[in-house]
Amino acid sequence: MPSHAFVQCDVFTDRAFGGNPLAVFPDGRGIDDATMQKIAREMNLSETVFVLPPGDPGKALRRLRIFTPTTELPMAGHPVVGTWHVLALQGVVPAPASGAGSVTIQQELGVGILPVAIEFAGGAPVRVVMTQPPPRLAERPDLAGAAARALGLDPAEIATAALPLVVASTGVPYLVVPVRGRAALARIAVREADLVNCLDDAKASGLYAVSLETRAPDALASTRMLGPPAIGVAEDPATGSAAGPLAAALVHHGVVRPVDGVARFVIEQGVDMGRPSRIEAEVEGGPGAVRTVRIAGGSVVVIEGELRW
């Protein structure tokens, strides 16, 4: 009977039962593709990660394969942040000799090899920083009506004065839709067929609804990620692969002004699901010239176990 150890953690939070749950299989060797997908469906979380040896050990420390309940993803944010927190706890990435500081390694994802930094305090990981692929942004004002229908909102509640509708990607494309305040964000009632049609037109993997009115006083934006049935995640409590593109768009369009070439701010998500998440964003560059996007956060281990089949 095959068995594999796993760890479940809550990501983009500093306390249990917040953030986005993630299942991590620290040693995914011997699990074939079909079984990985079955396990992800069994775990029934937004994502499940299987950690494998890299294709080239000289270029990356580990390879991460990321699955939703229905499909494999080339990249995702909270799986990277949570997985490297778990691997650091297990000693795959040792803390600096002093017990404090940052260690940067290279990871292999479906989009290629990217750096990730693990920050330690007292010998334990406290924060993981993920560098994402270069951002790509395209304005799509023609999708405002379709987005309103998909979200079950009045067209007047699509608010593009500060931030236009954009298809934005740092590895995975999202339709970023600004809405008029937290009340509109909370009132979203997805119309599935309209959402699928809207995302098909946008050639996007999900819709990231954004309010510049937030609940947390230190957050810049409040968000919700709505996914089509094909990815098996109707709504996600924290989406690093969407927060990165949003962060790029906010700087590119001048909503956030960098200080000394870097903009740092917090994006909140999951509030309307009862799983508040804090995604820290860091963007290098300026309006019209965004260069590098990073997202970061903490994680908390909540379950350790063994899956048998």
pLDDT in tens, 28-48: 999 999 999 999 999 999 999
Domain check: are 166 and 205 in the same one? yes
d(CA 11, CA 48): 12
Closest CA to 174 of 205, 147, 144: 205
Active site residues: 47
Rounded-to-integer distance, Cα 95 and Cα 119, Å: 8
Note the pLDDT tens digit of each residue in 156-202: 999 999 999 999 999 999 999 999 999 999 999 999 999 999 999 99
Half-sphere exposure of 38 (CA within 13 A, CB side): 8
The Cα 93–Cα 49 span in angstroms is: 17
Say if strands 47-52 and 20-25 run parallel, antiparallel, or are unpaired. parallel
pTM equals 0.96
Which amino acid, one-letter code, is at 215?
R
User: What average pLDDT does the segment 272-299 reach?
Assistant: 97
Let me know whether 154 and 96 are in one domain. no
166's tokens: 């954009």
The domain tally of the chain equals: 2
Give me the pLDDT at residue 1, please: 82
9 and 81 share a domain?
yes
> Do both 115 and 143 map to the same domain?
no
User: Does 247 share its domain with 287?
Assistant: yes
Model pLDDT for residues 191-226, shown as the tens digit of each residue: 999 999 999 999 999 999 999 999 999 999 999 999
Domain carrying residue 302: 3-131+298-308
Sign of the C-alpha dihedral computed for residues 79, 85, 90 and 95 taken in this order? positive
* 27 and 81 assigned to the same domain: yes
